[in-house]
Structure 1
């Protein structure tokens, strides 16, 4: 499979690239023109940024799927995801590439009905308040994705860690994993790659956590 990865220099995107290579996929990584990124076996496409669709067309044209690990690095990063994703979606429309998998965040999803009282009334509202600007941007991103003509999947992880890949985690298609507090970036990447070829995850947001 030919896969293009946006956010390849980030935590999740980096794992997507490595795992895709290990699985035998043909991988294209999109990075900024100033980046020294160089991974053996990966086609690297350097672009000035993700604010315009035109420079992204060559990176996605003819691919079977596009995976985006683009997102805020910290709660203070501000709007990052929506503008970049809008450009990616426009490039997909221009090239006719349909399969798109993107990362968002668990607080954007619905609160599970069986979530604990403490989480429902205290923890989740506090998290949503602390990073309000980031989550507002992710909501815009998700709205653009769900209204696009792509075969999309949105993956919503909770707090990210740098633990090693386990391949063992819980998922909730169309929902949020209850009492799901953390997930390794490597396992988020694992799910995103699995989602590419899973028809049950098309046009769905998928919660993931341990």
Structure 2
């Protein structure tokens, strides 16, 4: 497949690029600073662009089978950029008639897990309070997706870890895995790539966790 990856210099975005290249896909990595891109390999194209300029992004997405975004907030002061940058990506896709879009969100944006233990509920409330602005941003991002003409999927992981890819994790379409506290960035990337051709995930939030 021909894929475009936004946020390709981040933890999840970089994993998407590396895993996609290993799988034999053609990958266009959209970056602001090519020097920060760690991935390399045959089939990789590096596209430098201002991510706030939807018009400039059109050339990066035209003719692609799917677009995957690892864009997100790296620190609390970045709150607001997920919705803003995703809005530019959506506009570029709509202008070029590209349908499939997968993005990274977060578990607290989704519905509570069924029969969630009290300790997990309490922890969730604390995290949501501390990172309130971040989750407001992600909810605004998901609202942009819902209004769009794309076949979107929002992947909602809990706390992220730096671990090798395992391919072993739980997935709940439209929900949240019970007691799902962690997942590795590499496995989030693995899940996103696996969902590209999964029709059950279209226009859905998908919870993923170990």
Place the TM-score, normalised by the shorter chain, in its bin: over 0.9
Q: Pick from 43, 46, 65: which aligns with 1:44?
A: 46
**TM-score, normalization: structure 2?**
0.96
* 1:51 Cα offset (Å): 1.2
Aligned length: 207
Matches within 5 A, 1:64-75: 64-75=65-76
Q: How far apart in 2 are the matches of 1:201 and 1:145? A: 13
Q: What are the within-5 Å matches in structure 2 for residues 46-85 of structure 1?
A: 46-47=48-49, 49-85=50-86
Q: Output the TM-score relative to the length of structure 1.
A: 0.96
Instruction: State the shift of 1:74 in Å.
Output: 2.6
Query: Which residue does the alignment assign to 2:99?
Result: 98
Aligned to 1:161: 161
Structure 2 Cα separation of the partners of residues 181 and 200 of structure 1: 24
Report the Cα distance in structure 2 between the residues aligned to 1:35 and 1:167, rounded to whole angstroms.
29
Alignment of 1:142-153 (within 5 A): 142-153=142-153
Provide the residue aligned with 1:35 in structure 2: 34
CA distance in 1, matches of 2:68, 2:104: 8
Report how far residue 35 of structure 1 moved.
Answer: 3.1
Q: How far is 1:113 from its partner?
A: 2.5
Contact 2:8 2:14 in 1 (8 A): yes
Q: 3-state SS of the aligned residue for 1:144?
A: helix
Unaligned runs of 5+ in 2: none
